[in-house]
Amino acid sequence: MKVKYQGKEINIKKIGILTGGGDCAGHNAVIVGLLRRISQANQTLPAGEKMELVGLLEGWKALTRDPEKELNKIIKPLDLIDIEESFSVAGTILRSSRTNIFSKANLEAKMPETAMANIKKLGLDCLVVLGGDDTLGAAGKLGQQYSFPMFGAPKTMDNDVFGTEMTYGFESSVEESVHFIENCRTTAESHNRCFVIEVMGRHAGWVALWAGIAGGAEVTLLPEEVLDMETVIKQVEKSIAKKQHCIVVVSEGARLFDTRYPDAINQKHQKMLETVIADPKYAMVKARHEMPKKKDSFGNEQLGGIGEYVHSILEKHTKGFEYRYQNCGHAIRGGVAHVMDRILGLRYGDAIFGFMLEGKFGVYPGMESDQIVSRNLLEVRGGRFVPQDHQLFKMRNAVDYY
């Protein structure tokens, strides 16, 4: 298909698509949405302009492999009839990885140059990259550095990418989290227990916020707030006194200690934690606390475990009540893609083709007042946090209402 790119006419015939970072619902829907438009256009395009969409396996890792030696590990042919039903499934049919071609080590190894050389070996005329701000940022850099046609689509279950009111993957993770919370609640009610439930959410607490409210959690703890365990203990004790059970939802990005916290809170939490890890019963908590923090190739600290800290502090510093700790983990990423993520993914795939027709490259689709808008890949970033003046932030703790 002939389109305008940087003021010149180019013929886009072979389009590559990859999925990077963590998996989530909606990836497959974007692929199907784009492939539908390509298949539709091919019905009327001249033979010399017909297009094909090929999947690149395991995200950016595909472009670090040599097509002349490992083509079967790089390419997945995509036919609409074969994959159309996949839009209702979470995960990604192209598989994924957290490969950062612009990491310090990969820059020294000249990996961006290798990636671009492999794009040419594969005969790609355009690349579509599905991922969060890290994955999309790499697409923007590579496209700018080599003047290559790029598109993106914003995914993340955390819903924290700037430039869009909604990322695909978010709604399904909330739905699955709510089911998890509701299942725990029936046990909590049956046995007069308090459940501490940790859900994913790196630095933005949107999943915990929505799931906590929709799941009726008595207490919801977010990365955006100053966590005060003394207050949490009082909230839990109030819930137990009133209802004989309690649900505490914790975002994985919440912290006991932070430089932005008042010193008094950091010191108080340190004393609480010292009491916990001094008890042999909490040997696993002590081991976690002493374990070095790992980082991925983008420099993101691998989170998880704050719920275990909250659970152990509650159990140690209250009496006469049973506590249980549950971590939703990856269960809320997989399974089926719920309705909103199916629709949003299909819309984003459809929009990418529309941008291509308009000759609008180096962009990704965002949602604004239910309208699709184009956003610059070079300006993509994360950090779309829950503002403390947000209506839902003020509604997050059911215990406040009784």
Q: Distance (Å, rounded) from C-alpha 308 to C-alpha 94?
A: 34
Angle between helices 170-191 and 339-358 (to 10 degrees): 170
Work out the burial of residue 260: count CB atoms within 10 Å of its CB; fewer than 13 is exposed, 13-18 middle, 19 or more buried: exposed
Q: Distance (Å, rounded) from C-alpha 240 to C-alpha 250?
A: 18
| Residues forming the active site | 158
Is the Cβ–Cβ distance between 61 and 74 less than 8 Å?
no
From 96, 33, 40, 111, select the one nearest 352 (Cα to Cα): 33
Compute the 3-state secondary structure of the chain and give helix, strand, coil in percent, each to the nearest 5: 50, 20, 35
**HEC sequence for 75-118:** EEECCHHHHHHHHHECCCCCCCCCCCCCCHHHHHCCHHHHHHHH
Number of H helices, E strands in the chain: 14, 13
Is the Cβ–Cβ distance between 174 and 164 less than 8 Å?
no
Strand partners, 127: 16, 150
Q: Distance (Å, rounded) from C-alpha 266 to C-alpha 226?
A: 10
Q: Distance (Å, rounded) from C-alpha 209 to C-alpha 205?
A: 6
- DSSP for 151-179? EEEEB-TT---TT-S--BTHHHHHHHHHH
Q: Distance (Å, rounded) from C-alpha 90 to C-alpha 26?
A: 6
From 204, 310, 219, select the one nearest 256 (Cα to Cα): 310
Strand partners, 3: 10
Q: Give ∠ CA 281-284-287 in degrees, rounded to 5.
A: 125
Is the Cβ–Cβ distance between 286 and 273 less than 8 Å?
no
